[in-house]
Chain A
Amino acid sequence: MTATLLTFYLFSSVILISSLMVISSKNPVHSVLYLILTFFNAAGLFVILHAEFLAMILIIVYVGAVAVLFLFVVMMLDFNLSREKDNLLQYMPFGLFIGIVFICELIIVLINTNLDLANIQILANPFSNFSEMTNTQALGSVLYTDYILYFQLSGIILLVAMIGSIVLTLRERTGVRRQIIVNQLDRDASSTELKEVASGEGIDI
């Protein structure tokens, strides 16, 4: 138990420090890297909760794919490192507003769910036969039965987002010579033409 406690303090302190560094570091690339560190340690917290499937998915999806694209974009930005005036206080009112909204939402949720702290174990392990199946199976057995509608809805939302972003960025450029593999492979000796070129004169094609 104490080892778990130790790792919990390690992960959560790294999360706190690195998420502070995300908003306070001058260099945007460093910010993204601190964000990745935060994701990574959050996955560590999931592992402590025995939710190893969620931990791995968090790393694969957020760290392995989303944050790579973040880093990809931020790396190519032409940012100015010597902006001295840009201090944290400038964004304080807006940040404070967002923070207060989040805290209010958390409080509302906590009041409405009627959290029974004595039975916290039931909340953590909602399956009676949890010892018999892995948490991947447990997740799948409710996700594809009780929550199938929400699952499909979120899929459709993602599909719409994907199609939307493709539509926004797709543009047909004229004057671009594309490689058409089929045409290339279809060529044989009959489509070529041999021409005699006189020495020193060249030829127009």
Chain B
Amino acid sequence: MSVVTLIFDNIFIILTILMWSIVVFIPILIGVILAVYGDRKIWAAVQKRKGPNVVGPFGLFQVPADGLKYIFKEIIIPDGSDKVLFIFAPILTFGLAIGAWSVIPIQMGAALSNINVGILYIFAISSLGVYGILIAGWSSNSKYPFFGALRSAAQMVSYEVSIGFVIVTVLMCVGSLNLTDIVLAQKDIWFFIPLFPMFIVFFISALAETNRPPFDLPEAESELVAGYQTEYSAMPFVLFFFGEYANILLMCAMTTILFLGGWLPPFDIAPFNMIPGFVWFLLKLLFVFYMFAMVKAFVPRYRYDQLMRLGWKVFLPVSLISVVLTSSVLFFFNLAPNLI
């Protein structure tokens, strides 16, 4: 059987996959537009400014207008750059940021694909995010992007370690790698209460992993112009920007699922459990995003050695100890989830 007939026989499967991809993409697109708007509004409010308020009602069309402006601009590719990789890097960042969303359950059974190793999938995809930045920095063939990329690589690899251990502690309480199981295991108590220190470690590591302030050293404008994005313009820049915010929302969704009980209502009694699950999920996601935005507004940027010290000398030992502690408690108090 030739490859052509194979493709032809499975045309419906391929079309269905394409359709579902669009179903995932459109809400993320809207979500990112609102997130950028909300981020700017919160940031402005902290600094006693008004933020975007001219284009459209309440300035809501500011972000789409900016996006359109970038799309119609000319794409400038530096002469000395590695041209294929230069264009590939933003596409990679964008694609990975979208791809991870396919396993996020926003309600019971409402995930595009409910795979057994959902949390590992997200962890894997988010660990690939560093390549977009590394390739962008190298292929630009310019010193500031290169410094930005090197900083970013070291930073993301360091904080991934502690994120991994935090995920391990949560998984020990759940006994499954499935995201739906992780949420359902929090029916009695949301994990941020018994695992509060881990919640804090995860939140701060998520800030570092998404290159958000106060850990935005890869694009520290006072030192590196714009870091790895320096040479980018027009559409590739929009792809980077979009990917960055999609990743931030992904980290908010992950915090919600791991620690804040996903789509579960805070109390399983009448007025709370009438509200559909995805509303709770979005409310919690918005709350985490609000905290992300507030941190951006009022925490000064870390110095690079402080960043590394925090990652390796504080978070790594704390999360390692908590893995041992959590497993001991689960074992000796007979709380470990029953498997098989």
Contact = CB atoms under 8 A, between A and B. Distances in A.
B340 A64 contact: no
A2 B120 contact: no
B26 interface: no
Contact of A2 (B10, B123, B154): B10
Interface string A163-181: 0000000000000000100
Contacts, number: 85
B30 interface: no
Given A5-B6, A6-B7, A56 B128 contact: no
A140 to B, nearest CB: 9
B244 interface: no
A2 B157 contact: no
Q: Which of B120, B124, B134 has the most CB of A within 10 A?
A: B124
Contacts of B10: 2-3, 6
A125 interface: no
B153 A72 contact: yes
Interface residues of B, number: 36
Nearest to B149: A75
Interface in A1-50: 2-3, 5-6, 9, 27, 29, 33, 36
A152 interface: no
A75 B177 CA distance: 35
B116 A52 contact: yes
B340 A133 contact: yes
Q: Which of B1, B9, B116, B135 has the most CB of A within 10 A?
A: B116
State the main secondary structure of chain A at its contact with B: helix
B248 to A, nearest CB: 19
B138 A29 contact: yes
B47 to A, nearest CB: 29
A195 B115 CA distance: 69
Given A65-B160, A68-B134, A68-B153, A6 B128 contact: no
A6 B3 contact: yes
B7 A63 contact: no
Contacts of B61: none
Contacts of A72: 134, 150, 153-154
State the main secondary structure of chain B at its contact with A: helix
A160 interface: no
Contacts of A154: none
B121 interface: yes
Contacts of A36: 131
A132 B116 CA distance: 13
A179 to B, nearest CB: 7
A76 B151 CA distance: 13
Nearest to A181: B309
B117 A137 contact: no
Contact of A53 (B85, B120, B127, B150): B120
B127 A59 contact: yes
A60 B123 contact: yes
A134 B116 contact: yes
Contacts of A59: 124, 127-128
Given A56-B120, A68-B153, A3 B128 contact: no
Q: Which of A52, A65, A68, A134 has the most CB of B within 10 A?
A: A68
Interface string B121-155: 10110011011001100100000001001100110
A71 B134 contact: yes
Given A9-B3, A75-B138, A60 B124 contact: yes
A149 interface: no
A133 B3 CA distance: 35
B153 A52 contact: no
B7 A69 contact: no
A57 interface: yes
Contacts of B13: 3
Contacts of B7: 6
B106 to A, nearest CB: 22
The 7 closest A-B pairs by CB, nearest first: A64-B127, A56-B120, A59-B124, A134-B116, A6-B6, A52-B117, A3-B10
Interface of B: 1, 3, 6-7, 9-10, 13, 82, 85, 115-117, 120-121, 123-124, 127-128, 130-131, 134-135, 138, 146, 149-150, 153-154, 157, 160, 164, 176-177, 305, 339-340
14 contacts: A53-B116, A56-B117, A56-B121, A56-B123, A59-B127, A60-B120, A60-B123, A63-B124, A63-B127, A75-B149, A133-B339, A133-B340, A134-B116, A137-B340
Given A33-B135, A52-B116, A53-B116, 11 more contacts: A2-B9, A33-B85, A52-B117, A56-B121, A57-B120, A60-B127, A65-B157, A71-B131, A134-B117, A134-B176, A179-B305
